[in-house]
Structure 1
Amino acid sequence: MTNDTQTRPQAAVVPDRASARAFVDEHILPHADAYDRQGAIPEELLERIGAAGLWAPFLPPETGGAGLDMVTLGEIHEEVGRGCSSVRSLLTVHTMLAWTLQRWGTAAQREQWGPLLASGGVLGAFCLSEPGAGSDAAGITTTAVPKGDGWVLNGVKKWTTNGQRADLFLVFAKTESSIGAFLVPRDTPGVTVRPLDDMLGTRASMLAEVTLGDVRLGPDALLGPSGFAAGMVLTGTLDLGRYSVAAGSVGIIQACLDASASYASRRMVGGSPISELPLIQAKLSDMVTDVRAARLLLAEAGRLKDVGDSATLMATWIAKYFASTAAVRHASEAVQVHGANGCSPDYPVARYYRDAKVMEIIEGSNEIQRITIAAEAHREGGR
Structure 2
Amino acid sequence: MTVIDSGPDLSPDLSTLLARATAEASAWDAGTGLPRDVIGEAAKAGLLGLDVPVAYGGGGAGARAVGQATAQLGAVCSSLRALLTVSGMVNAAVHRWGTAAQRQSWLPRLASGDVLAGFAATEPGAGTELAAVATRIEPRDGEVRVSGHKVWVTFGQDADVLLVLGRAPGGLTTVLVPADAPGVRREPVTDALGLRGARLAHIGFDDVRVPADHVIGPPGFGLTHTVGTALDHGRHTVAWGCVGMAEGCLAEAAGHVARRRQGDTPLSGHATVRAALGRAHVRAEGARSLCERAAALRESKDRQAITATIMAKYAAATAAAAVSRDTVQLLGAAGCTTNGRAGRFFRDAKIMQIIEGADEVAELAIGDRVISQYAPHVRDGQR
**Same topology, TM > 0.5:** yes
* CA distance in 2 between partners of 1:331 and 1:65 (Å): 34
Q: Name the TM-score, length of structure 1 as normaliser.
A: 0.92
Deviation string, structure 1 residues 143-179 (Cα, Å, up to 9, x no partner): 1112122211110000001000111101000112321
TM superposition shift of 1:22: 3.4
* CA distance in 2 between partners of 1:103 and 1:239 (Å): 12
Is 1:18 matched with 2:26? no
* CA distance in 2 between partners of 1:184 and 1:382 (Å): 45
Alignment CA distance shift 1:27-1:367 (3 Å): same
- Matched residue, 1:3: none
Is 1:279 matched with 2:261? no
* CA distance in 2 between partners of 1:32 and 1:306 (Å): 32
2:96 to 84, 91, 103: 103
Is 1:48 matched with 2:41? yes
TM superposition shift of 1:121: 1.4
TM superposition shift of 1:323: 0.7
- Matched residue, 1:7: none
Decide whether the 8 Å contact of 2:160 with 2:179 is kept in 1. yes
Answer with 230-239 or 178-187: which moved more.
230-239
- Matched residue, 1:116: 109
Where do 1:1-383 residues align within 5 Å?
17-19=8-10, 22-23=15-16, 25-228=18-221, 231-345=224-338, 347-381=340-374
TM superposition shift of 1:297: 0.7
AA at the equivalent of 1:295: R
Alignment CA distance shift 1:298-1:351 (3 Å): same
TM superposition shift of 1:382: 6.3
Decide whether the 8 Å contact of 2:165 with 2:222 is kept in 1. no
Alignment CA distance shift 1:22-1:286 (3 Å): farther
Alignment CA distance shift 1:346-1:362 (3 Å): closer
Query: Structure 2 regions of 5+ residues with no counterpart?
Result: 1-6, 377-383
* CA distance in 2 between partners of 1:147 and 1:253 (Å): 49
Alignment CA distance shift 1:365-1:125 (3 Å): farther
Decide whether the 8 Å contact of 1:241 with 1:363 is kept in 2. no
TM superposition shift of 1:283: 1.3
* CA distance in 2 between partners of 1:107 and 1:223 (Å): 11
Decide whether the 8 Å contact of 1:28 with 1:83 is kept in 2. yes
* CA distance in 1 between partners of 2:191 and 2:207 (Å): 30
Alignment CA distance shift 1:346-1:269 (3 Å): farther
What secondary structure sits across from 1:144 in the alignment? strand
AA at the equivalent of 1:33: S
TM superposition shift of 1:345: 4.1
TM superposition shift of 1:381: 1.8
* CA distance in 2 between partners of 1:161 and 1:218 (Å): 24
* CA distance in 2 between partners of 1:330 and 1:24 (Å): 25
Answer with 146-155 or 200-209: which moved more.
146-155
TM superposition shift of 1:110: 1.6
* CA distance in 2 between partners of 1:41 and 1:347 (Å): 17
Answer with 320-329 or 357-366: which moved more.
357-366
Ranges of 4+ aligned residues in structure 1 off by more than 6 Å: none
What secondary structure sits across from 2:173 in the alignment? strand
What RMSD over aligned residues (CA atoms) do the two structures have, in Å? 1.7
Decide whether the 8 Å contact of 2:131 with 2:223 is kept in 1. no
* CA distance in 2 between partners of 1:297 and 1:291 (Å): 10
* CA distance in 1 between partners of 2:111 and 2:235 (Å): 20
AA at the equivalent of 1:27: R
TM superposition shift of 1:346: 6.6
Decide whether the 8 Å contact of 1:158 with 1:209 is kept in 2. yes
- Matched residue, 2:4: none
* CA distance in 2 between partners of 1:369 and 1:23 (Å): 36
Identity of aligned pairs, percent? 36
Query: Structure 1 regions of 5+ residues with no counterpart?
Result: 1-15
Alignment CA distance shift 1:335-1:365 (3 Å): same
AA at the equivalent of 1:18: D
* CA distance in 2 between partners of 1:47 and 1:75 (Å): 21
AA at the equivalent of 1:298: C
* CA distance in 2 between partners of 1:130 and 1:25 (Å): 33
How many residues are aligned here? 368
Decide whether the 8 Å contact of 2:137 with 2:166 is kept in 1. yes
Alignment CA distance shift 1:290-1:112 (3 Å): same
